[in-house]
């Protein structure tokens, strides 16, 4: 009995978690839900850690972290280009969700190193240094492989006007505080992600969506332009609720928003780089 139970567990893990990575089939309902639950608990633990070590979650924190975010995204794109391992199981640390874990552990090591070292704590930001070095190496590897240098201009040419329109609409018509401060960057990040999907699927026509809900909606509507609407329908109410219920706890609020930002910038950057390298 115990052997049968163990076999079923192994089969379940392989079917819903390992096979999608092995065969590049994308997400399914099961692993999407499980990854979301894991993210929730990691988020809670991270918030407690940052509060315990009294680390400010401000614009300086974001600037130090940004190179590491780009490093993770460029690493994922280089997996698609065949520079980093793309075959299972060697690709586990470099593809989703492994690349998020890898980047998080690097960030955690940098934060703890800075916290425990008096010298680093007073001056050098290890998160930024490691991120810049990592992203710098990746950039050197990407440049000779670029075949579509116009791609980021197309993606930004779509996403930035949409973001600017939404901000202008908010200031002149709705007159709410929803699209102010950090929230503008979050909307910009997710419009960038949506635009990268639109360019890849509708303009270049060479790519496929791998997430469960977007895949369904794109097949239903026949266009990936639905991603802009989907992003806004989810993002704007989420930001409103976060500001309303977590407004007094700025540390928690900013960490949650930072995760939302990463979930937009990360995939958007990877998609754009893939198209630039035609992978």
Structure confidence at residue 210 (pLDDT) = 87
CA distances 119 to 52, 65, 99, 114, 124, Å, are 20, 19, 30, 8, 8
Which whole-number Å values give the CA distances from 246 to 56, 61, 255, 257, in the listed order?
A: 16, 19, 11, 11
* pLDDT for the residue 224: 97
Q: What is the reported pLDDT for 119?
A: 59
How far is Cα 225 from Cα 186, in angstroms, rounded to an integer? 19
DSSP state of 222: S
Which runs of consecutive H residues, i.e. helices, occur in 199-249?
212-221, 226-246
Instruction: Sketch the domain layout of the chain as residue ranges.
Output: 1-52, 56-145, 148-279
The set of long-range contacts for 101-109, using a CB threshold of 8 Å and a minimum separation of 24, is 102/72, 102/75, 103/68, 103/69, 103/71, 103/72, 103/75, 104/42, 106/68, 106/130, 106/134, 107/65, 107/68
pLDDT value for 4: 78
The pLDDT, as a whole number, for residue 129 is 93
Distance CA 1, CA 8 (A): 11
Q: What is the pLDDT of residue 91?
A: 95
Reading the block at residue 50, the tokens are 């940052």
CA pseudo-torsion sign 153, 156, 161, 167: negative
Q: Coil, strand, or helix at residue 278?
A: coil
Question: No. of H helices and E strands in the chain?
Answer: 12, 0
Q: Which residues of the chain have pLDDT under 50?
A: none
pLDDT for 124 equals 60
């Amino acid at each position: 009995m115990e052997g049968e139970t163990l076999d079923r567990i192994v089969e379940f893990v392989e079917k819903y978690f390992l096979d999608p990575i092995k065969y590049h089939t994308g997400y399914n309902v099961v692993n999407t839900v499980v990854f979301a639950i894991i993210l929730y608990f990691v988020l809670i633990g991270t918030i407690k850690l940052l509060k315990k070590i009294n680390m400010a979650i401000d614009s300086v924190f974001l600037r130090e972290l940004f190179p590491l975010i780009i490093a993770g995204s460029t690493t994922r794109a280089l997996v698609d280009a065949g520079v980093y391992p793309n075959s299972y199981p060697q690709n586990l640390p470099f593809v989703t969700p492994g690349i998020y874990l890898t980047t998080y552990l690097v960030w955690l090591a940098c934060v703890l190193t800075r916290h425990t070292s008096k010298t680093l704590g007073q001056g050098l930001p290890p998160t930024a240094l490691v991120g810049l070095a990592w992203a710098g190496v990746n950039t050197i590897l990407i440049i000779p492989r670029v075949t579509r240098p116009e791609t980021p201009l197309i993606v930004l040419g779509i996403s930035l006007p949409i973001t600017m329109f939404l901000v202008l609409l908010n200031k002149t018509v709705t007159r709410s505080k929803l699209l102010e401060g950090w929230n503008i960057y979050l909307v910009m990040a997710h419009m960038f992600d949506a635009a990268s999907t639109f360019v890849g699927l509708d303009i270049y026509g060479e790519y496929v969506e791998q997430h469960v809900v977007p895949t369904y909606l794109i097949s239903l509507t026949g266009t990936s332009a639905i991603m802009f609407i989907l992003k806004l329908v989810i993002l704007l109410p989420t930001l409103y609720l976060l500001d309303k219920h977590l407004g007094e706890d700025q540390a928690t609020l900013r960490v949650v928003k930072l995760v939302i930002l990463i979930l937009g910038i990360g995939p958007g950057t990877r998609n754009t780089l893939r198209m630039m390298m035609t992978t």
